[in-house]
Structure formats: structure tokens, C-alpha cells
Structure 1
């Protein structure tokens, strides 16, 4: 079976990184829970007020993460999907 990692990355509006991360925890993640194929989620913070969510899926069709409210964003959300090539 294919494993797909879906990456969702956003830069928060100035000073709003904590609010953006809270939105992911309180809105985006609950919306994904129970989705068919969801294996794992991981939330990261990064310099530059960036918030990164990686979701792992069994199969090739991850459920997309919604866009947060515009006032939390410093720029549009970026999204990428990857399929697993090798695991050790």
C-alpha cells in the first residue's frame, strides 16, 4: 500500500503564529480526525512565524486541510503531497 505525506505550510500574519497553530489544533485537526486512511499528524512551528502540518495517509488521496481565516495569514497556504519511496 502506498503511504502519502501531505504537507500544509502557512506563514502567519505578524505576531499571529500562536493563533495560527491554535487554529490548526482546534479546527483543522478535528476536521481530519476519523478520515479514512489518516495514519498520523504532526504539527511544527518554524522561524519566520511559519506553521507546518504534516499528515500521513494510507493510500494516495489525502483529505485536504482547510484554509485558516485570512486575518491569521501573512501569505497564502502552501501545500505539497509526497509518496513514500523508502523507510528504514
Structure 2
């Protein structure tokens, strides 16, 4: 089964690049199948990690960034693949 963890944060105004740099430096204690980092308008940063595991498995997640880098708490979601099509 494939599970995707999504981590999304909004940087303090003008600190988007700093947040991207910070999140890319974060190591997880286990390696996902895949990890991608995205940016969006308003200095938002999204990280998606994919795992081959049951939906309710205990998985490592990225931490909260330093408070001076973000304008609000991190949003986190967990999705289970329903296949293609």
C-alpha cells in the first residue's frame, strides 16, 4: 500500500527561500520511497513523502520549522493511494 505524507508551511513574508533551504536540510530517521519539495505563491512550501506501508503505520514526519521562519503552524495530511485512473 502506498501512503503519501504532505507537510505544508507558509513562510514569514520574504523568507520563502530560507524555508526551502531549511526543509531541504531536514533528515528523516527512515528513508521514504520518494520525497519532493515544492514552492507556491505567498512563500508556501510543500513537501510530499511516499511510503510503502499501511495507512496507520507510525511514520517519521518533518518537524516544525523555527518560529521566525513561518507565519502559521505547519499543516499536515496523510493520504492513501487508491490507484490510477
TM-score normalised by L of structure 2: 0.89
Count the aligned residue pairs: 82
TM-score normalised by L of structure 1: 0.86
CA distance in 2, matches of 1:40, 1:80: 16
Partner SS state of residue 74, structure 1: coil
Asked whether 1:12 is paired with 2:11, we answer yes
CA distance in 1, matches of 2:24, 2:43: 16
**Unaligned stretches of 5+ residues in structure 2:** none
**Unaligned stretches of 5+ residues in structure 1:** none
Asked whether 1:59 is paired with 2:53, we answer yes
Normalized per residue, the structure richer in helix is: 1
CA distance in 2, matches of 1:86, 1:39: 16
* TM-align CA RMSD: 1.4
CA distance in 2, matches of 1:17, 1:5: 23
